[in-house]
Amino acid sequence: MKAILVREFGGPEVLRLEEVPTPKPAAGQVLVRIHAAGVNPYDTYMRAGTYARKPPLPYTPGSDGAGVVATVGEGVKKVKQGDRVYTTTTLSGAYAEYALASEQQVHLLPSKISFSQGAGVWVPYGTAYHALYHSAKAHASETVLVHGASGGVGIAAVQIARGIGLTIFGTAGTPAGLQIAKREGAHQVFDHRKVGYQEEILKATGNRGVNIILEMLANVNLPHDTKLLAKDGRVIVIGNRGEVTINARELMARRASIRGFTLWDIMPAEEADIHAGLIAGLENGTLRPIVGKELPLAEAARAHKEILEPGAAGKIILVN
């Protein structure tokens, strides 16, 4: 089969399409013919060798795949050959024609969701769901600022929050991103490249501040976020790319808190909760993964460059 292999950590150029043996599922494992693989920012940090998780080399990147079950190993009950599935991490990597996954890592994909959409489910929607429900403990009557609402996690958060009933403020850095955030459910949108946009957000809350901030770039925004919070407000750090200084007094004055998490560390009960919520939302149409761009698997290096560039507009997906 064809697969992207990383033989050394480095820039996007280390992602090379190679011919490798197709894996065979052992007991409790599933082989999936991958039709689409989602590209996530963490894939680029891992490839660079700067991420907290460093896989042994060589490795095939990708946790979010969608496709059809090709074969199953002994004892597998959850899925059968021919089922459409999405993956939540894999054993062998999703940037490939076939991926090996444990039975627990595959989930049935609702029929109305395309493979490219299915490859944009786990990391973006799992993260957004965990942030809103488990971390922020959001209530329908609250306001949420999705700080970075044009990318994978942001769009997912906007759709989930809208489904619950929250009032949503979303930010993006381009007209296309702002339009997507609005179309997917943000009540008001703001340009995070415009000087003074934080004042506009505060004004939109009647100067009360927002109850929840889902933060995609904490190292840039945290000092301002603490001033945008309402009483008992909470910032949920989802994305962060450096160090930052804040004035803790802003938190004290608001009884506010800052929390962070990584999706790798969620508990089994939380994961079960997330899948139940996501499948229901995908089936009833409140969750609609947005595919911004499809690229052939061979162009994984281009996908890794583009995902870190400004101007997000949905997911970048590798198809094969």
User: How many CB atoms neighbour CB 93 within 10 A?
Assistant: 26
User: Cα 232 to chain center, whole Å?
Assistant: 26
Nearer to ligand NAP by C-beta: 72 or 228? 228
61, 93, 120, 177: residue in contact with ligand NAP (rule CB under 6 A) = 177
- Using the minimum distance from each CB to ligand NAP, give the nearer residue, 206 or 242: 242
Give ∠ CA 177-231-141 in degrees, rounded to 5: 60
For the bound state, the minimum distance from the C-beta of residue 181 to ligand NAP, rounded and expressed in Å, comes to 8
Distance of alpha carbon 262 from alpha carbon 274, whole angstroms: 14
Number of residues near ligand NAP (by CB under 6 A): 33
Nearer to ligand NAP, 161 or 307 (CB): 307
Per CB under 6 A, which region of 20-28, 73-81, 89-97, 169-177 contacts ligand NAP? 169-177
Residue 147 within binding range of ligand NAP, rule CB under 6 A: yes
Query: Is residue 12 a contact residue for ligand NAP (CB under 6 A)?
Result: no
Using CB under 6 A as the binding rule, the residues of this chain from 273 to 302 that contact ligand NAP are none
| Cβ neighbours of residue 136 closer than 8 Å, sequence gap 6 or more | 144, 212, 214, 234, 236, 259
Q: How far apart are the first and last CA of the chain?
A: 11
Q: Which residues contact 25 (CB under 8 A, 6 or more apart)?
A: 31, 71, 72, 73, 76, 100
**Candidate segments 37-45, 64-72, 134-142, 294-302, binder of ligand NAP by CB under 6 A:** 37-45
Question: Judged by CB under 6 A, which of 4, 33, 40, 84 binds ligand NAP?
Answer: 40
Q: Please state, as a whole number, how many other Cβ atoms lie within 10 Å of the Cβ of residue 32.
A: 31
Does 42 engage in binding with ligand NAP (CB under 6 A)? yes
Taking contact as CB under 6 A, which single stretch among the options 4-12, 75-83, 123-131, 222-230 is the one that binds ligand NAP?
A: 123-131
Choose one: 56-64, 150-158, 161-169, 226-234; the region binding ligand NAP (CB under 6 A).
150-158
- Minimum CB distance to ligand NAP, residue 127 (Å): 4
For residues 38 and 109, the answer to whether their CB atoms sit within 8 Å is no
Residue 93 neighbours by CB under 8 Å, 6+ apart: 3, 4, 59, 60, 61, 62, 99
Q: Work out which of 67, 124, 277, 289 binds ligand NAP, going by CB under 6 A.
A: 124
Closest separation in Å from C-beta 221 to ligand NAP = 5
Q: Does 307 bind ligand NAP (CB under 6 A)?
A: yes
What one-character-per-residue DSSP string does 225-236 give?
HHHHEEEEEEEE
Of 82-90, 99-107, 173-181, 226-234, the segment contacting ligand NAP by CB under 6 A is 173-181
- Long-range contacts at 262-269 (CB < 8 A, ≥ 24 apart): 262/52, 263/123, 263/126, 263/127, 263/130, 264/53, 266/126, 266/130, 266/134
Residue 266 in contact with ligand NAP, rule: CB under 6 A = no
| 252/232 Cα distance (integer angstroms) | 10
Site string for ligand NAP, 198-227 (x = CB under 6 A): ------------------xx--xx------
- Buried b / exposed e along 65-83 (16+ C-beta atoms within 10 A): bbbbbbbbbeebeebeeeb
Applying CB under 6 A, the residues found at the interface with ligand NAP are: 40-42, 123-124, 127, 147-154, 171-174, 177, 192, 216-217, 220-221, 238-239, 261-263, 307, 310-312
